[in-house]
Amino acid sequence: MSEYSYKDLLKKVHSEAPTARIDDDRFKVPKAEVFYEGNTTVIKNFDKIVDMLNRDPMHVLKFLLGSFGTAGDFVNGRVTFQGKIPLKTLQDRLEEYIDTYVMCSECNRPDTHLLKKDRTILIHCDACGAFRSVGSMKKKKTMTPMEMLKEGGIYDLTIKDIGKRGDGVAFFDKYVVYIPGAIKGATVKVKIEKISGTVAFGRIAQ
């Protein structure tokens, strides 16, 4: 005869049942719905994204503006950025924000909120009770060399647009790269000559 009663077995099953699938179903961040107006980029469902993240829209916007090195506004639920920013770059930066400011590093759940202690931002997980500083998470997520441009380095870049001065415009992770004489749609080897913040200038390598 089993040493467990029916109620004991039922409690054991519930306690050992995995909860990850429930969390995954509940935490589905909408993909950015992006369109372009002239030389601006618009995320029209930004309010729905930040609602799911349970974060202040201005905090998320400040992070994105810093990542792109551009200006922008949050009005009527949507965000407008100056410049044309590729959809993949926008989505990558949103995922970086989620990893840095939302997900718990211990239980990998999104049930967190931000606290500020002196000048340090802490993330407190309501699910497991863990605390961590945002700074410690950033150190763990430092970019690999392949994700960073270096002056003097040569990179294969695809020209996505033509700037106002006729220079080709390419994108490399968070960087916008200007290349004189490049043709839109072409993939060229570019030598980086100067980097200023998230803007870089290069020339077609011979």
Structural domain contains residue 2: no
CA angle centred on 33, ends 28 and 34, rounded to 5°: 145
Claim to verify: residue 137 and residue 150 sit in the same structural domain: no
CATH number of the domain to which 149 belongs:
2.40.50.140
Structural domain contains residue 174: yes
CATH number of the domain to which 97 belongs:
3.30.70.3150
Whether 146 and 156 have beta carbons less than 8 Å apart is answered as no
Claim to verify: residue 37 and residue 97 sit in the same structural domain: yes
The identity of residue 91, as a single letter, is Q
Q: Name which residue leads in pLDDT, 118 or 72.
A: 72
Claim to verify: residue 54 and residue 93 sit in the same structural domain: yes
Q: What is the pLDDT of residue 105?
A: 80
Structural domain contains residue 118: yes
> What does the pLDDT look like over 177-199, one tens digit per residue?
999 998 888 889 999 999 987 88
Q: What is the pLDDT of residue 139?
A: 47
Claim to verify: residue 34 and residue 98 sit in the same structural domain: yes
Provide CB contacts within 8 A for 202, sequence distance 6+: 155, 157, 177, 178, 179, 190, 191, 192, 193
Claim to verify: residue 56 and residue 96 sit in the same structural domain: yes
> What does the pLDDT look like over 31-48, one tens digit per residue?
999 999 988 999 999 999
Structural domain contains residue 189: yes
Q: Cα-flanking dihedrals φ and ψ of residue 152, to 5°? A: 95, -15
Claim to verify: residue 92 and residue 128 sit in the same structural domain: no
Distance separating alpha carbons of residues 112 and 99, to the nearest angstrom: 12
Find the domain containing 92 and state its range.
Answer: 30-102
Q: How many domains does the chain have?
A: 3
Claim to verify: residue 132 and residue 80 sit in the same structural domain: no
> What does the pLDDT look like over 145-180, one tens digit per residue?
446 788 999 999 988 888 878 898 888 877 889 999
Claim to verify: residue 50 and residue 95 sit in the same structural domain: yes
